[in-house]
Amino acid sequence: MYSKCGKIGSARLAFDVMHIHDVTSWNSLIHGFAQHGDADNALEAFSEMCSSGCKPDDSTFLGVLVGCNHAGLVKEGEMFFRLMVDEYGITPTPSHYTCMIDMLGRNGRFDEALCMIDEMPFEPDVLVWKTLLASCKLHRNLDVGKLAADKLMELSESDSASYVLMSNIYAMHGEWQDAGRVRRRMDEMGVKKDAGCSWIEVKNEVHAFVARDMSHPESIYQMLGELVDRLMASTVNDGVDARGADEDSNPTVARLLQLIGDPDSSDAWRQCWEAGVTPWDLGQPTPAVVELVNSGTLPDNGATVLVPGCGAGNDVVALAGPGRFVTGLDVSETAIQKAKQLSSAADGNFFTFVAADFFTWEPPEKFDLIFDYTFFCALHPSLRSAWARRMSNLLKPGGEIITLMYLVEDQEAGPPFNTTVLDYEEVLNPLGLVISSIQDNEVAVAKRKGMEKLASLMASTAIAAQGATGARQVLDGSNPMVAKVRQLFGGRDSSDGWSRCWEEGLTPWDLGQPTPAVVELVNSGTLPDNAATVLVPGCGAGYDVVALAGPGRFVVGLDVCETAIQKAKQWSSSSADGSFFTFVAADFFTWEPPEKFDLIVDYTFFCALHPSLRSAWARRMSDLLKPDGELITLMYLVEGQEAGPPFNSTVQDYEEVLNPLGLVINSIQDNDVAVEPRKGMEKIARWQRMAQPVNE
């Protein structure tokens, strides 16, 4: 009783005053220490028990194993498990095995955990697989997690924890479609997650509270609202964002997570506003919005503006003015009502508020500009593709999206959910929305400094035909993104520089689609007939890899940046038959493939490298190509660049390093399907190996 009430000291005292200690009393003491994470005292009690002559039983060893598990003492746990079997002849029960599997899984030893499951003298039950699945979430092990989830579904399709754990594992790996699929299956099966419940006793009466519970007297919720208002007032007045950098330590956010329950539910957000739990609400316009308005950097054609998830509407009023009509949209009627009240003294000719669901609302016309402030990270990752489609549908051709990105990582739950620049690009780029500029939010509130970026994304109707036409595709010093890339490199060639570019979304060379010249090669049937194996070095997001791949042609996409390869794997997982291509994160100059290639396709990889590496580039091309293989280079020929990448390049630069190795031009022509800003600057050359190398 003392142990279960948390008074482990009193439990030990009660044990010590007993005249006779039998196996039950010893077990109670050991389990008490173990449950409270005190492995040292649990093991000491076990030693005392054995010294006293009392023989431990299966319950004794279970307590010892639980103690080892809580303290992370894996070696000791394995020793006691063997001791139980070998010395005391006790047959392990399912509980013993489950504890050992949990112990191994928590320490990332999944192979040993799976071996133990295979060696169990009985079929593993739901608890075993659920325990393993929880460890997979802890260590983000997708492969074993899928196995455990499949086994759980076979045993019990109504266990909500299994669905939630698997959905979270998919989300951690950026597998948003799979995460959404698990959530949809949960809905289809009618499985509901059990709500958390808290109890409090007041005047001899027990009151129970569950998530989103509105069954109690109104006075309770009024008091809660007052407390939240006081908290918000104190944090805002101190210049500190109530959400803060440490989400889990903020009591308002903790209350928010309680209310949200299922973040896919619009009703959850209504509950937050009704309960006054809105830690994101600064009680004033977002500083970044004020800065945009005052600096005059909003687009000139932004006559109609949408602010989704507008909340109390402070940003709506700040953006509105002559020549700019702003619509504030929120799913919560309480939020919209508050917005109307707060803005009643402002000139209402330039703005309006609408209470509707962003995903189903149909406005009378599309918008020139959409401003998204952390709306993205508030949505469950399974909804991000739908968010992107709605953004695209609500935006006029040539329109602009401004996103104030709140970039957080290592959140175990949300909102806000883990978010990176790459997450935005994954769902927006395929729809023709590409980043035209991105920068740190220098005016972020105190605790968010360094965690926010302000990005502008442009919509282009020409992408499908000829690629995006904005400055993003001009790869010279006039492009601010290229200038930023050069800053990251600092004049040096560094694999770390490329990784930072992808991590920060600085990829002006990325069209968000296959290179038109590659598509033309495939569609025209002019690729070499013997090209059974193809290499695309510096493949980036992998669009060209998937375009080239198909029956009879296996393509390897290679990039030094793991972020780029991760992006390539994510978007291509649901877009094409993966049996015809693969992606590898490795350094082109040191990677050793199992075999050489029939064809290598180089799209501007050459001009991205520092000139000092071009001879090494040529030697690697020669080494990786079969004797009768072919090299296709899409040359981006630029001159007059004071720095790079891209670096100054001419056809002669290619010939100087390839010809001495026996690789000579078989044909060369202008790239007639180059994207508009690059027309006249690109050539397609096809190289084949001569019998004898050309003398230098």
Which pLDDT score is estimated for 240?
36
Distances (CA, A) of 358 to 168, 309, 375: 24, 8, 11
Fold classification of 287-459 is Rossmann fold (3.40.50)
DSSP secondary structure letter of residue 56: P
The answer to whether residue 556 scores a pLDDT higher than 90 is: yes
Which pLDDT score is estimated for 467?
35
The answer to whether residue 114 scores a pLDDT higher than 90 is: yes
**Banded pLDDT at 464 (limits 50, 70, 90):** very low
The answer to whether residue 238 scores a pLDDT higher than 50 is: no
Q: What is the pLDDT of residues 153-210, one digit of tens each?
A: 888 777 777 777 777 777 666 565 666 677 677 767 776 666 567 777 777 787 777 6
Q: For residue 522, what is the enclosing H or E element?
A: helix 516-524
Which pLDDT score is estimated for 477?
46
Residues in Cβ contact with 75 at an 8 Å cutoff, skipping those fewer than 6 apart: none
**Banded pLDDT at 270 (limits 50, 70, 90):** low
Lowest mean pLDDT among 92-96, 225-229, 528-532: 225-229
DSSP secondary structure letter of residue 193: P
Indicate the SS3 state at residue 246: coil
Which pLDDT score is estimated for 508?
63
Rounded Cα distance, 452 and 241, in Å:
13
95-101's contacts with Cβ under 8 Å and 24+ in sequence apart are 95/62, 96/58, 96/61, 96/62, 96/65, 97/124, 97/128, 98/127, 98/128, 98/131, 99/62, 99/65, 99/66, 99/69, 100/65, 101/128, 101/131, 101/132
625-636 and 351-355 beta bridge pairing: unpaired
Rounded Cα distance, 524 and 137, in Å:
47
**Banded pLDDT at 686 (limits 50, 70, 90):** very high
Give the CA dihedral 369, 374, 376, 377, nearest 10 degrees.
170
Q: Name residue 80's amino acid.
A: F
31-35's contacts with Cβ under 8 Å and 24+ in sequence apart are 31/3, 31/59, 31/62, 31/63, 31/66, 32/2, 32/3, 32/4, 32/8, 33/8, 33/63, 33/67, 34/63, 34/64, 34/66, 34/67, 34/70, 35/3, 35/66, 35/70
Q: What is the pLDDT of residues 537-554, one digit of tens each?
A: 988 888 899 889 888 889
Q: Name residue 92's amino acid.
A: P
**Banded pLDDT at 463 (limits 50, 70, 90):** very low
Mean pLDDT of 452-474: 52
Which pLDDT score is estimated for 497?
61
Q: What is the pLDDT of residues 247-269, one digit of tens each?
A: 444 444 444 444 444 444 445 66
What CATH superfamily is the domain 516-689? Vaccinia Virus protein VP39 (3.40.50.150)
The answer to whether residue 117 scores a pLDDT higher than 90 is: yes
Give the CA dihedral 522, 528, 532, 534, nearest 10 degrees.
-70
Which pLDDT score is estimated for 143?
85
Q: What is the pLDDT of residues 364-411, one digit of tens each?
A: 888 999 999 878 888 888 788 888 888 888 988 778 999 988 887 776
**Banded pLDDT at 441 (limits 50, 70, 90):** confident
Distances (CA, A) of 180 to 149, 170, 357, 414, 416: 15, 9, 19, 15, 17
The answer to whether residue 482 scores a pLDDT higher than 80 is: no
Is residue 502 within 8 A of residue 665, CB to CB? The reply is no
Percent of the chain exceeding pLDDT 70 equals 76
Distances (CA, A) of 7 to 14, 35, 104: 11, 12, 30
Q: What is the pLDDT of residues 49-69, one digit of tens each?
A: 988 889 999 999 999 999 888
Mean pLDDT of 314-342: 89
Lowest mean pLDDT among 335-344, 419-428, 572-581: 572-581
Higher pLDDT, residue 5 or 45: 45
Number of separate helices (H) and strands (E) present in the chain: 29, 16
**Banded pLDDT at 100 (limits 50, 70, 90):** very high
The answer to whether residue 359 scores a pLDDT higher than 90 is: no
The model's pTM is 0.39
Q: What is the pLDDT of residues 16-47, one digit of tens each?
A: 888 888 999 898 989 888 887 788 888 889 98
Which pLDDT score is estimated for 146?
85
Mean pLDDT of 93-113: 91
The answer to whether residue 286 scores a pLDDT higher than 70 is: yes
Q: What is the pLDDT of residues 123-153, one digit of tens each?
A: 999 889 888 888 887 777 888 888 888 888 8
**Banded pLDDT at 466 (limits 50, 70, 90):** very low
Number of other CB atoms surrounding residue 638 within 10 Å: 19
Provide the greatest CA pair distance for the chain. Answer: 99
**Mean pLDDT across the chain:** 78
Distances (CA, A) of 486 to 477, 506, 539: 9, 10, 20
Lowest mean pLDDT among 280-284, 468-472, 473-477: 468-472
Rounded Cα distance, 158 and 173, in Å:
25
Fold classification of 8-188 is 1.25.40
Q: What is the pLDDT of residues 573-583, one digit of tens each?
A: 765 567 889 99
Mean pLDDT of 593-611: 87
**Banded pLDDT at 494 (limits 50, 70, 90):** low
The answer to whether residue 495 scores a pLDDT higher than 60 is: no
Distances (CA, A) of 659 to 512, 631, 668: 34, 12, 15
Rounded Cα distance, 396 and 334, in Å:
30
Map out the domains of the chain as residue ranges.
Answer: 8-188, 287-459, 516-689
Are domains 8-188 and 516-689 of this chain identical in fold? no
Is residue 241 within 8 A of residue 281, CB to CB? The reply is no
